[in-house]
Amino acid sequence: MSLFQQSEAGVLPRLSPVRLDAQSLLLTLLLAFIAFLVVTPLFLLLLNSFQVGKPGGAVVFGLEGWRQAFTSLGIVDSIYNSFSLAITRQIIATIVGIFLAWLLARTDIPMKRGLEFMFWLCFFLPALPVTLGWILLLDPKYGLLNQLLAKLPFIQTAPFDIYSYWGIVWVHLATTGVSLKVMLLTPAFRNLDASLEESSRVAGAGSIRTLLRIIVPVMMPVLLVTAVLGLIRSLEAFEIELVLGVPIGLHVFSTKIHSFVTHEPPQFPAATALGTFFLVILLAMVALQRLYLGQRSFVTVTGRSFSTRPISLGRWRYPVFAVVLLIALSITLLPTAFLLLGTFMKLFGFFNIANPFTLNNWKDVLSDPILLRSLKNTLVLGFSSAGLGIVVSSLIAYVIVKSRFKARAVLDFLSWLPWSIPGILLGMALLWTFLLIHKIVPIYGTMGALVMAMAISGLPVCVQVMKSFLMQLGDELEEASMVAGASWLTTYRRIILPLLLPCVIVVGLLEFISAARNISTVVLLATGQTRPLSLLMLDFAAGAELERATVVAMIIVAIVVVAALSARSLGGQFSIRG
């Protein structure tokens, strides 16, 4: 059962609710706590877009921030670039993702599970390290692929330029663009009622015609969900545009917000005004998507079991397999291998100098106390946000699935809402929240601020995974426990949590991976003392110290890959398929 099948209230048949002994007050407090974590930052983001007074001074409201934001140099181009890049790569990723997911789920292509895992792994690879690997290949001056092609007699200039509009599109497609589609669509294709395809084949339609004329229209609600989620993830993009776009003057809204905040002095009103503008647009998109889906049924893609033979590709089986394998290797192994190669280069990207390779990059970085502090911060951030995410998401999922709490639909929506907020906006909203409560709870500038941000950012996925598992649990054990006189809290602690243990481990690993690779959510919240490896890597890359950046990037990739392999291995025990 896939993520988006579980996220829409009222679409799936509910389990028989379990009566809870706990007072409604406790559940109301949980709802209020989640609302405070999710809604308060957004309200403060909106409010402070009209606050034009100096930080720490008197509160003065006005429209100066909005005027400054929308009259700043290049703002129109930034807005256009944001949507143009996002829509372009979503169109390409959707078309490619549909065919790849269909091949993996419905045909007899060899090594389907292995290929699916490679796309799954690609999604978790940090974007910036992968970008550095592609720079080594496609830089217009020293990219290895460009240098090899330049030796051909009919090529006069470098055919590829990573520092361009289409270079940015390509890197996004090679990181999360295609892999996200494959992750979300493959389970949906796998659970689709096979009788539709069988009827189409009986009527004489071929496999491709069946896919385009029958399957795609039936899957349109699912495709819309993935399109909206993908568009939101595209609009939050930050590090790729910062590294590849800013050097050529191509800004998007996230890099524009970053420039406002890092300006001397910081232009917070303009940054919050621009952030609020984009947030309103994104929330409108989410509302329209949910309204559209609420009028349609998911009956054709639910968990009903239909046995059918995989569609035979005939003589095309191995050529198609070779193409899919080439795509999978190109977006996972190829950039990672060149990233590793870059860690040993004396001068990043220059293969033609004398003795281009060295071990000094590793020696310098590993002996740097800044690296050790950032590594410690990353591990603390990862484990802490995983622990907090497990506790909060399991409680929320339990209340949504198993309780009769009247406001559980509101709780479900609030738990899903952070998915619709780009990381740079969530970080800015939390920045204002932490500044507001700093005198009462001095959390700003501490590791606790980053932990809170990552826990909120990971809440949607963690809750949906927990809901998926809880929906598979019968009510008999809980009913027996309560008949024996146990409270719902005791039942949850003694009965539910032990059963949830495999799911809890995977949720923790997913939260850890997200914390280890995230940049956009924490970039405005971290300080020099709380900076994790991801921001240290960004600092090196932005400061043209690409040799050091690749070493830090390779360490992050190693951490993420180990965690992703663990999550995939454990996830297979209870049908979490990416």
Per-residue pLDDT of the chain (578 residues; tens, 9 = 90+): 444 444 444 443 444 444 444 456 777 787 888 888 788 887 877 887 887 766 555 677 888 888 888 888 888 898 899 889 989 998 999 889 888 988 888 888 888 888 888 888 888 788 888 888 888 888 888 888 888 888 888 777 888 899 999 999 999 998 888 888 888 788 777 766 666 666 666 666 666 666 666 666 766 666 776 777 777 777 777 788 888 988 888 988 888 887 887 777 777 788 888 878 877 887 777 677 666 655 544 444 344 444 456 777 888 889 999 999 999 998 888 888 888 888 898 887 777 777 888 888 898 888 888 888 999 999 999 999 988 888 888 888 888 877 777 777 888 888 877 876 767 778 878 887 887 777 787 888 888 889 988 888 888 878 877 776 777 666 666 677 777 777 767 777 777 777 777 777 778 887 888 888 888 888 888 888 888 998 888 888 877 788 888 899 899 888 888 887 776 676 544 443 33
Residue 245 has a CB neighbour count (10 Å cut-off) of 22
Measured between alpha carbons, how far is 281 from 276 in angstroms, rounded to an integer?
Answer: 9
Spell out the CATH class of 23-42+80-303+362-574. Answer: mainly alpha
In which element (H, E) is residue 386 found? helix 369-402
pLDDT of residue 85: 92
> Do 491 and 481 meet the contact criterion of CB atoms below 8 Å apart?
yes
pLDDT of residue 56: 55
Measured between alpha carbons, how far is 273 from 48 in angstroms, rounded to an integer?
Answer: 8
> Do 240 and 168 meet the contact criterion of CB atoms below 8 Å apart?
yes
Radius of gyration of the chain (CA): 25
Residue 161 has a CB neighbour count (10 Å cut-off) of 18
pLDDT of residue 573: 45
- Give the CB-side neighbour count of residue 85, counting CA atoms within 13 A: 33
Among residues 541, 105, 561, which one has the least CA distance to residue 301? Answer: 105
Q: Which residues contact 179 (CB under 8 A, 6 or more apart)?
A: 119, 120, 122, 123, 331
DSSP string for residues in 316-349: GHHHHHHHHHHHHHHHTHHHHHHHHHHTTBSSTT
Instruction: Determine whether 36 is exposed, middle or buried from the number of CB atoms within 10 Å of its CB (0-12, 13-18, 19+).
Output: exposed
**Helix, strand, coil percentages in the chain from 3-state DSSP, rounded to 5:** 70, 0, 30
pLDDT of residue 17: 46
Q: Which residues of 400-423 are buried (b: 16+ CB within 10 A; e: fewer)?
A: bbbbebebbeebbebbbbbbbbbb
Q: Which residues contact 413 (CB under 8 A, 6 or more apart)?
A: 9
pLDDT of residue 7: 42
Measured between alpha carbons, how far is 110 from 103 in angstroms, rounded to an integer?
Answer: 10
Angle at 362 between CA 356 and CA 367, to 5 degrees: 140
SS3 category, 5: helix
Q: Residues for the chain: how many in total?
A: 578
Q: What is the pTM of this model?
A: 0.73
pLDDT of residue 126: 82
Name the residue with tokens 């979503």.
90
pLDDT of residue 193: 60
Measured over the CA atoms of residue 135, residue 421, residue 432 and residue 34, the dihedral's sign is negative
Helix ranges restricted to H, 154-265: 165-172, 178-190, 195-202, 207-210, 216-218, 220-235, 239-240, 253-262
Residue type, 71: T
CA dihedral 23, 27, 28, 30 (to 10 degrees): 140
546 φ, ψ (degrees, to nearest 5): -70, -25
Q: Which residues contact 293 (CB under 8 A, 6 or more apart)?
A: 8, 11, 221, 224, 225
Instruction: Determine whether 341 is exposed, middle or buried from the number of CB atoms within 10 Å of its CB (0-12, 13-18, 19+).
Output: middle
pLDDT of residue 12: 39
CA distances from 329 to 90, 111, 175 (A): 21, 14, 12
pLDDT of residue 208: 67
pLDDT of residue 441: 78
Measured between alpha carbons, how far is 208 from 219 in angstroms, rounded to an integer?
Answer: 15
Measured between alpha carbons, how far is 39 from 363 in angstroms, rounded to an integer?
Answer: 46
pLDDT of residue 437: 78
Domain ranges of the chain: 23-42+80-303+362-574
Measured between alpha carbons, how far is 453 from 459 in angstroms, rounded to an integer?
Answer: 10
> Do 75 and 255 meet the contact criterion of CB atoms below 8 Å apart?
no
β-bridge mates for residue 257, sequence order: none
Measured between alpha carbons, how far is 423 from 411 in angstroms, rounded to an integer?
Answer: 21
pLDDT of residue 575: 40
Measured between alpha carbons, how far is 574 from 500 in angstroms, rounded to an integer?
Answer: 10
> Do 177 and 89 meet the contact criterion of CB atoms below 8 Å apart?
yes
Q: Which residues contact 443 (CB under 8 A, 6 or more apart)?
A: 434, 437, 449, 452
In which element (H, E) is residue 242 found? none
7 φ, ψ (degrees, to nearest 5): -85, -10
